[in-house]
Amino acid sequence: MAEVPAPERGSEAHWVRHHLDEFVRGEVESSPIPGGQRAADAALAGFTVRGYAARRNEVWPVDRRGASGLSPYIRHGLLTLPRVWDHVAGGPARDVTAFRDELLWQEYARHLYARLGDATQRSLRYSVEERGEPYDWPEGMACIDLANDELQRTGWLTNQTRMWLASQWSMRDGAGWRDGEDVFFRHLLDGSRAANRVGWQWTVGALTGKPYGFSRWQVEKRAPGLCHECDLRARCPIANWPPEDPPEARSYADPRVRRDPDLATTSGAAAMSSGSGAAPEMVWITAESLGDDDPALRSHPDLPVTFVWDVPLLQRLRLSSKRLVFLAQCLADLAERRELIVRIGVPVDELAGIPLAATFAPVPGWHRISSALQLVRVDPWPWLVPPHDGPVTSFTAWRRRARA
C-alpha cells in the first residue's frame, strides 16, 4: 500500500468505505459525534462547567446529564488537558474542582500507561479473571440495553454506564475483563488503552481490591423512570447487590507500580534528547496528536504533515467504522489548513528514510515505531502534570506526588 488522497470534509464515510474497506465489518456508519478540530473547538466553547458536580453522573433522560462529552477530542489530542483545565477557570468552585479532578484521572491513566505500557493488560494488584469464554450482554434489561445501544450507535458512554456494563460483565457474569475492555475499545471514540484499562481495572477491583457493585439502586438514582419501561421490572436480575467477593492480592505485583526506574523514558525526555537536530522534511502525526495545538505541528507551521493508517494495527483491532470515520473527519478537517500526506501501510516502511519531526506520545506503540524512524526533532507531550517516579498504585497515591 502507499499514499492515498486525503479525506475531504463531508465524504469521510465514503473515504473509509473506499480505502479501509477490508478492515470494516458490515456497513460504514458515522457517529453523531463529529471529529475534527472545528468540532472540538465548538464542543469546548459550548461546555459550561456550572452544575457539573451535581449532574456528572446522571444517565437518563439524556437532558439530565452534566458530563462534558469532550472525551473523544481529549483522547486524540484535539483538546489538550491544559487547555480544557484553563477553560473552566472562574466557574463555581465546587464544579471546577470536580471537573478538574476528572481531568486528573485522565492524566493519572496516561502516567500509569506511559510507565507500565503493555503490562497494564494484566490485573495490576489484585487477581481478577482477564480472559474467558465468549460473552455477550444479557438481553431484556432496560439499563444494559440502553448503555449497549448507545455504545454501538454513538461510540460514547457516560462514566456511570461504563461502570454498569463493566461491573455486569465481570462481577455478575464472571466474564474476563480484558475481553470487555476490547469490546469497549473497538467502539468508543475516546477508546484509549490508558483510560480504558484503568477504568476496567478500577471497576473490577484489580487496582484497589474493591470491585464496583452494580444494582438496580444506581439505575433508579441515575436513570429515574427507566425501570418502569423494563420488561424485567418485576423480576429484576440486579434487584440486590452482587455478592461481595473481593479479589485476592496478586502474589507478584509489578514493582513499577510503586517506583519508576526510568522516568526519562516515561516522560519523553529521553525521546526528545535523541533527535539529531537536523532539518525535518515532514511532521509525523498519529492518533494521539490530531489537533492544531500539537506541539510538532506548531513548531513547524510550513512543513507538510503525514499520517499513516497502520495496517497491522487495523487488522488486529478491527475498530468499529464509527471510530474510523471519526479519525478520517479529523484528517479531513486538518487537510483544510495543512498540506497532508495520507498513507496506508506499515508505518516504518511508509516513512523510511524521511527526516521527521514529531511530538512524543506516551504510549508503547509510539516507542516501537519511532525507534525505527528517522526522527530528527521531537517535541514534548503536553502533560497536565509532569510525571513523577512515585507510586501509581492508586489515584490517591499518585495524586499526592502530582503537582497540577
Ligand X SMILES: Cc1cc2nc3c(=O)[nH]c(=O)nc-3n(C[C@H](O)[C@H](O)[C@H](O)COP(=O)(O)OP(=O)(O)OC[C@H]3O[C@@H](n4cnc5c(N)ncnc54)[C@H](O)[C@@H]3O)c2cc1C
> From the CB of residue 5, how many other CB atoms can be counted at a distance below 10 Å?
12
Tell me the sheet residues that pair with 356. 282, 375
71 binds ligand X (CB under 6 A): yes
125 binds ligand X (CB under 6 A): no
Q: State the minimum distance, in angstroms, from the CB of residue 149 to ligand X.
A: 17
User: Inter-axis angle of helices 142-154 and 159-167, to 10 degrees?
Assistant: 120
Q: Which of 69, 138, 237, 355 binds ligand X (CB under 6 A)?
A: 69
Residue 394 CB partners (closer than 8 Å, separation 6+): 207, 208
169 binds ligand X (CB under 6 A): no
Collapse the DSSP code of 118 into the 3-class scheme (helix H, G, I; strand E, B; otherwise coil) and give the result. helix
Q: Can you tell me the distance from the alpha carbon of 227 to that of 60, in angstroms, rounded to the nearest whole number?
A: 11
Q: Cα 269 vs. chain centroid, distance in angstroms?
A: 23
Q: Which of 143, 195, 238, 392 binds ligand X (CB under 6 A)?
A: 195
How many residues sit close enough to ligand X to count as binding (CB under 6 A)?
28
Q: Which of 49, 151, 188, 392 binds ligand X (CB under 6 A)?
A: 188
- Site pattern 85..124 for ligand X (x: CB under 6 A): -----------------xx-xx--x---------------
Q: Which stretch binds ligand X (CB under 6 A): 28-36, 144-152, 199-207, 274-282?
A: 199-207
Beta carbon nearer to ligand X, 23 or 105 = 105
222 binds ligand X (CB under 6 A): no
177 binds ligand X (CB under 6 A): no
Beta carbon nearer to ligand X, 197 or 343 = 197
Beta carbon nearer to ligand X, 165 or 356 = 165
Q: Can you tell me the distance from the alpha carbon of 79 to that of 70, in angstroms, rounded to the nearest whole number?
A: 8
Q: Which of 128, 166, 357, 392 binds ligand X (CB under 6 A)?
A: 166
Closest CA relative to residue 71, chosen from 195, 161, 193: 195
Q: Can you tell me the distance from the alpha carbon of 192 to that of 169, in angstroms, rounded to the nearest whole number?
A: 19
Q: Which stretch binds ligand X (CB under 6 A): 67-75, 123-131, 317-325, 385-393?
A: 67-75
Q: State the minimum distance, in angstroms, from the CB of residue 91 to ligand X.
A: 13
Q: Can you tell me the distance from the alpha carbon of 392 to that of 260, in angstroms, rounded to the nearest whole number?
A: 9
Q: Which amino acid is at 396?
A: T
Q: Which of 30, 80, 148, 158 binds ligand X (CB under 6 A)?
A: 158
Beta carbon nearer to ligand X, 114 or 303 = 114
196, 190 Cβ separation under 8 angstroms: no
Closest CA relative to residue 230, chosen from 220, 221, 222, 243: 220
Q: Which amino acid is at 316?
A: R
Q: Which stretch binds ligand X (CB under 6 A): 21-29, 68-76, 113-121, 350-358?
A: 68-76
Coarse DSSP helix, strand, coil percentages of the chain, rounded to the nearest 5 percent: 45, 5, 45
Which positions touch ligand X (CB under 6 A)? Answer: 56, 67-71, 74-75, 102-103, 105-106, 109, 158-159, 162-163, 166, 184, 188, 190-192, 195-196, 199-200, 203
